[in-house]
A and B are shown apart, each in its own frame.
Chain A
């Protein structure tokens, strides 16, 4: 591949100082201009990729059912939508929580994500335990760790009763630090 360039290279070697400084200038000019080109292309790409990090998500309250549909002392799975899902999100826009009715007017909404590595915990109603299918984490009915590797209790989501509806506030998937 070097063959066609030999001629140029040999003439290039015997250059006057003026030629050398001109060549140096041209090299720097090319790098600088190339750099500008690269920046023009890179800035929007990086911005596009990083923008979601700086977006502040607005959480919303989602109704998950009438207050009467939850019996005191029971824990049930409830489904709701993420806030402002993308139009093509399909079923991935759904989220679930375990909703426990503690008393007539108190509810607890537990994240379904195990604090060990995020797998979906299952409620065993007769055993009064949450069990994780991945690595054997177990939680009591109040979300505290009963057994296994989870480092923290099940996270809770804000929950309220409004106009006879139980509402859960949307939240990011809890990521254990």
Chain B
């Protein structure tokens, strides 16, 4: 191997190491509980999908800043996506909702406010209708 190729290979290795170490580290806040630990959630929220509908629990979804909430999403028919969004449209988190499984994700909100829920996976022509504004209230 030519020395210039070797040097370039070292550059590639350095980029690989830096990028992966940073993105696996707690510098990405949710890696703390999604990758490095499995904290017991303070409470669990069940969300059911089916017939182009997102069915939330009868009582409102409420959480406090800093507590761990587990979302368990299920589907009666096809694959959907559970996506939680801020009021400006930016995404907080999402997961795929496969039928026949309990799709679990734990989240810790860091900001009080109202959050929207939207299906993030295409499920048929009416997919875009699957949107619930102000579905989650997070308080201090």
**Bound pair (A, B):** no
A interface list, Cβ under 8 A from B? none
